[in-house]
């Protein structure tokens, strides 16, 4: 099978490419290499690398020629610096996806399309009020965050809420620019599937970590930010009170989920998560424990307005439809990540 992987030189895309090549697939990568000084040495020699971004119509049309399946990983990720990034996010993520889909349409592509999405499409996760049951948490107010009140409250009675696992049928409620572009990426891709007959699967990644994760950029994930601090002899700075709950899933599991999705004929969106929730503070402490003599993480009380408090996935649909269950546990994965190569 000939598979196009957009963003295939990146953190997740590179792991997908290595696995595809290892099983004998013919792999073509479209990547701008914006995050690299030269083509990365971890891509197998058998891969055809096309240097260009999704805004380059010639490169995109060359990349889609003759492919049987597409794994769309290319995106600008993270919260960025501030809202001034909005045009870049929309151009790269919304516009880039649209250019890819148009190129596929022009060559009458009806093969498998697997799209990288994110847990950020949910906004805040799922919450339950003791009196009112499932409720939608309102966006947190700056005044509450300034005073250290981080937990969402019931919008009906003001009671404390308890988080619950989020299923794929939850309302989409993006609360930052990146999240909004991921919702649009999903919508455009499913529209393409309806119009073309292509089978489309969107994988909603939760907090991915592992080897070759980007470092030292405003778009890096929190795991890599903490790891970089520890390597420099600095205590990780944990925002809010460190009790934000997430699902940390290893990149090897995410890559395996993509291969399963490429092989499947199931269409829809699925959470890709470990099923093992932990707090951000747990992660900081686990990484610090792997650095002898490291300073304990510092809980700062700082916040980012676009962050959400608790997002924990239900992994059941991916298990049922794709046969996916994560294999790397939190303790094992974090111990390895403390010494994995970053880029």
The secondary structure of 11-44, three-state, reads HHHHHHHHHHHHCCCEEEEEECCCCCCCCCCCCC
What pLDDT, in 10s, does the model give residues 71-104?
999 999 876 668 888 999 999 999 999 999 999 9
Task: Work out the average pLDDT over 283-306.
Answer: 92
pLDDT above 80: residue 38? no
What pLDDT, in 10s, does the model give residues 155-166?
999 998 999 999
pTM, entire model: 0.93
pLDDT at 135: 93
Supply the mean pLDDT for the chain. Answer: 93
pLDDT above 80: residue 203? yes
pLDDT at 216: 63
Is there a contact between 254 and 272 (Cβ–Cβ < 8 Å)? yes
Task: Work out the average pLDDT over 267-279.
Answer: 97
Name the percent of the chain lying above pLDDT 70.
97
Q: To which H or E segment does residue 61 belong?
A: helix 57-64
The sheet with strand 133-135 has its strands ordered as: 133-135, 126-129, 162-164
Q: How far apart are the first and last CA of the chain?
A: 30
pLDDT at 218: 53
């Amino acid at each position: 099978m000939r598979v196009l992987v957009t963003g295939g030189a990146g953190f997740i895309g590179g792991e997908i490419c290595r696995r595809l090549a290892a099983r004998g697939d013919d792999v073509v990568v479209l990547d701008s290499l914006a995050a690299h000084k030269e083509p990365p040495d971890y891509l197998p020699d058998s891969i055809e690398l096309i240097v260009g971004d999704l805004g380059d119509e010639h490169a995109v049309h060359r990349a889609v020629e003759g492919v049987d399946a597409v794994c769309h990983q290319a995106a600008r990720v993270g919260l960025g610096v501030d809202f001034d990034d909005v045009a870049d996010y929309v151009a790269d993520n919304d516009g880039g996806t649209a250019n890819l889909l148009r190129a596929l349409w022009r060559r009458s592509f009806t093969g498998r399309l697997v799209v990288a999405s994110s847990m950020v499409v949910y906004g805040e996760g799922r919450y339950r009020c003791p009196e009112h049951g499932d409720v939608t948490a309102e966006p947190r107010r700056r005044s509450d965050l300034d005073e250290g009140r981080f937990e969402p409250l019931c919008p009906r009675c003001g009671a404390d809420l308890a988080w619950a696992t989020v299923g794929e049928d939850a309302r989409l409620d993006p609360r930052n620019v990146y999240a909004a572009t991921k919702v649009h990426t999903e919508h455009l891709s499913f529209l393409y599937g309806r119009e073309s007959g292509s089978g489309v699967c969107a994988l909603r990644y939760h907090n991915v970590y592992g080897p070759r994760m980007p470092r030292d950029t405003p778009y890096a994930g929190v795991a890599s930010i903490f790891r970089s601090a520890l390597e420099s002899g600095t205590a990780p700075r944990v925002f809010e009170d460190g009790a934000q709950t997430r699902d940390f899933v290893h990149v090897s599991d995410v890559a395996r989920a993509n291969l399963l999705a490429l092989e499947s004929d199931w269409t829809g969106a699925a959470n890709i998560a470990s099923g093992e929730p932990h707090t951000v503070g747990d992660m900081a402490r686990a990484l610090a424990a792997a650095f002898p003599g490291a300073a304990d993480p510092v809980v700062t009380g700082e916040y980012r307005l676009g962050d959400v408090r608790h997002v924990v996935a239900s992994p059941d649909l991916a298990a049922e439809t794709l046969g996916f269950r994560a294999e790397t546990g939190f303790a094992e994965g974090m111990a390895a990540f403390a010494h994995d190569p970053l880029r």
